[in-house]
Structure 1
Amino acid sequence: MLKRVIKILTNKPTKIDRPVFTKYFEKENKQIKDLEQLLKISNDASKKIIEQDIKKLRYGHIGENNVYYELKNSFIPMICLHNVRLKYKGMVAQIDFLAITCKYIYVIECKNLIGDITINSQGEFIRHMKNSHGKVISKEGMYSPIVQNEKHINILKEILKQELKYKNKLKRVESLIVTANPKTIINKTYAPKYISDKIIRHDQIIDKIQSYESDNKTNWVFIEDDMRKISEILLKYHKEAKIDYNKKYNLPIKGDKKYNTYTSSKYNDIKKEAYSKKNQVKIKSDEELRRLLKTYRLQRSKQDNLQPYMIFNNSTMEELIKIRPKDLYELRNIRGFGETKCEKYGKDLINMII
């Protein structure tokens, strides 16, 4: 206690004078390198999906590199960690950057957003995709990065509460959403203040942190021992993700001619069910399928408490009608259907279409 008091009274809570990384940013992304190797043994169907995932990972890595550059070249005394995957009581929090200063713990989510984003008065995020002439060609809802980061923060708080017995100090955890794509325009005109204040461009992150740090109302600080202890605890709970690439991308198993399913056995069940229906049920007309998709979209939007276009918009609906995906491989190639939506709506849509 005396040590803490002396450090606070002398206004020297830490000897750190610039950012110190206890978990470094890796210039070469291991997952990208792994996927590049998998391309050499992948089949035609999985190759396309792997190439898409590599593109997304590269794009995201560029965004994180921009944030890393800003943090590293600031002169803010802080301990930083990159790419921390906290696992606690069956829950997982994937955090892009953590920055621990004498006053706050910043949980930083990097978003390399594509298209222009509007945040409405309800805090909903709506993506507008434009063509080469600048005309909006589609509009779709997206999962709120604010909500996503808050879930990560809740897990982090539970860990600090258990390990360090923190209570009031947990109020010092701040969420920051950093957009790393300079071409993306975010319209925050009607966004609630608690949301608009937390969304910034990567070149604004240092100014934002400094504004928090200059708050003289804070009556308690983390000394260097606290900062390092927090870092050690979080690294203790960091668990690298183990990805079964064979299972995820339907790759051949060494010594076996059989192939795995795309993501899990239930996806294989969907394909079998779809095949069976295809051979028993008369093909639906475009108009009938459009009516079924609209009805389903409305029902799911009420069930999930979302706007209908956030399930899928009209442009995506027409693509579903035109392509008529018969399994999750084909569904994933339709704009707007990533793993999350395939997981949530895939079985229903395939059974409806086939």
Structure 2
Amino acid sequence: MSILNILFGQKRTIQNPTFIKDFSKDSLQLANLNDLLNKVSDGDKKDNIEKDIKLLKYGLDGENNVYFELKHSFLPIICLHDVRVVYEDYVAQLDFVVISNKFTCILETKKLSGNINIDQDGNFIRTIKNRYGKEYKEGIYSPVTQNKRHVDILKHLLSKELKINNMPILSLVVMANPKTIIKKYKCPAEVEKTLIKYDQIKTTLEKYQNDKSNQYDLGEKEMLDIANLLIKVNSPIEMDLITKYQISDDTYARKNDQILREELMAYRLKTSREENVKAYYIFNNNELEDIISKYPRSEEELLEVKGFGKVKVEKYGGAILSFFKQ
């Protein structure tokens, strides 16, 4: 905490929610999945990709609900979305982080279908109806326990890197599905106070901000130091979609023959002009049709095309094969 801030006060410029790392529904992962979906021909793999796209959109819709509430809270806070903290041997995926002069709060967003019941032991039981209207129950991993671990990691990070040891670091688990009913009247008090619906975000953060028993008062520089540290240790994971869905060359959808014909003819003309030779020296029309028919994915397969020996493949193979891998 800044000594100057304690003695003389510090002019505050953050009057409304300020996003240092903003939210966007146009995620890179979603774009990559949609791109892969358009290329894959295997029916089962397409079904799996479509299912994951649906789940990702569902989760993003939930996070968008939380983002809207934070953005319109009119609180003097700094916010970050989607921070993957990697520090020492610890990893924590934080959906939203809210930094106030009075506290830091981690918001774990859950857009769960069905209704949630929390028993006296803090166990989460979800009730879901199937498409025939029959109800069934299942236990789910406690998001409260999950977020408590995130809080411990953030405390450790702030203590080690910024020597911040006494700042209240709070946990909120936000249910972002407006249709979900949460039954928590039997659950432990510690769980009950951390579990809220997304439309309760503003009032809950205001309660923490106006808590007279909390004498903590962080300067804006220190608030920004926390935000910048989180940006520094943020290490997004790049999912290997090819491995996840076991994509091989023959899984990709075959490109339209006419498109291939036009692309290869354009390449042939361009190359012949660059080399100042007749176009059919690169490959003639019969060879062109054989290339399209065999749809080569490797130099070995291109060697099976009429008129293509080792020398021609070495010279033109890389460029030709690129048209079959897009």
Using the size of structure 2 for normalisation, the TM-score is 0.73
Which string of whole-angstrom CA distances, capped at 9 and with x for unpartnered residues, describes residues 82-113 of structure 1? 11111112322111100100101010011001
1:3 aligns to what?
4
> Helix, strand or coil for the counterpart of 1:65?
helix
The equivalent position to 2:193 in structure 1, one of 191, 197, 211, is 197
The equivalent position to 1:238 in structure 2, one of 229, 234, 237, is 234
Q: How many residues align?
A: 250
What is the Cα deviation at residue 258 of structure 1?
Answer: 9.2
In structure 2, runs of 5+ residues without a counterpart are 253-326
1:75 aligns to what?
74
Give, in whole Å, the separation in 1 of the partners of 2:25 and 2:127.
31
Cα separation, partners in 2 of 1:39 and 1:2, compared to 1, 3 Å: closer
Matched ranges for 1:269-280 at <5 A = none
One-letter code aligned to 1:4: N
Which string of whole-angstrom CA distances, capped at 9 and with x for unpartnered residues, describes residues 40-97 of structure 1? 2332222211111111110110111111111111210011001111111232211110
The equivalent position to 1:38 in structure 2, one of 31, 36, 49, is 36
Give, in whole Å, the separation in 2 of the partners of 1:160 and 1:53.
35
In structure 1, runs of 5+ residues without a counterpart are 260-354
2:101 aligns to what?
102
User: Which one is further off, 150-159 or 72-81?
Assistant: 150-159
1:128 touches 1:136 (CA, 8 Å); kept in 2?
A: no
The equivalent position to 1:219 in structure 2, one of 215, 220, 239, is 215
1:13 touches 1:222 (CA, 8 Å); kept in 2?
A: no
Give, in whole Å, the separation in 2 of the partners of 1:53 and 1:224.
40
> Over aligned residues, Cα RMSD in angstroms?
1.9
1:209 aligns to what?
205
2:175 aligns to what?
179
Give, in whole Å, the separation in 1 of the partners of 2:21 and 2:190.
30
One-letter code aligned to 1:199: L
One-letter code aligned to 1:245: L
Cα separation, partners in 2 of 1:195 and 1:258, compared to 1, 3 Å: same
What is the Cα deviation at residue 220 of structure 1?
Answer: 2.2
What is the Cα deviation at residue 132 of structure 1?
Answer: 6.6
> Helix, strand or coil for the counterpart of 1:121?
coil
2:163 aligns to what?
165
> Helix, strand or coil for the counterpart of 1:27?
coil
Give, in whole Å, the separation in 2 of the partners of 1:13 and 1:136.
59
Matched ranges for 1:1-354 at <5 A = 2-8=3-9, 14-42=12-40, 43-131=42-130, 137-169=135-167, 172-252=168-248
> Helix, strand or coil for the counterpart of 2:39?
coil
The higher radius of gyration belongs to: 2
One-letter code aligned to 1:32: L
Runs of 4+ in 1 over 3 A off after TM superposition: none
Give, in whole Å, the separation in 1 of the partners of 2:81 and 2:251.
38
What is the Cα deviation at residue 29 of structure 1?
Answer: 1.7
What is the Cα deviation at residue 191 of structure 1?
Answer: 0.6
What is the Cα deviation at residue 161 of structure 1?
Answer: 1.3
Give, in whole Å, the separation in 1 of the partners of 2:214 and 2:11.
14
> Helix, strand or coil for the counterpart of 1:40?
helix
Cα separation, partners in 2 of 1:28 and 1:138, compared to 1, 3 Å: same
Which string of whole-angstrom CA distances, capped at 9 and with x for unpartnered residues, describes residues 161-195 of structure 1? 110122222xx100001111111111001011111
Identity of aligned residues (%): 40
> Helix, strand or coil for the counterpart of 2:24?
coil
One-letter code aligned to 2:141: Y
Give, in whole Å, the separation in 1 of the partners of 2:29 and 2:61.
14
Using the size of structure 1 for normalisation, the TM-score is 0.67
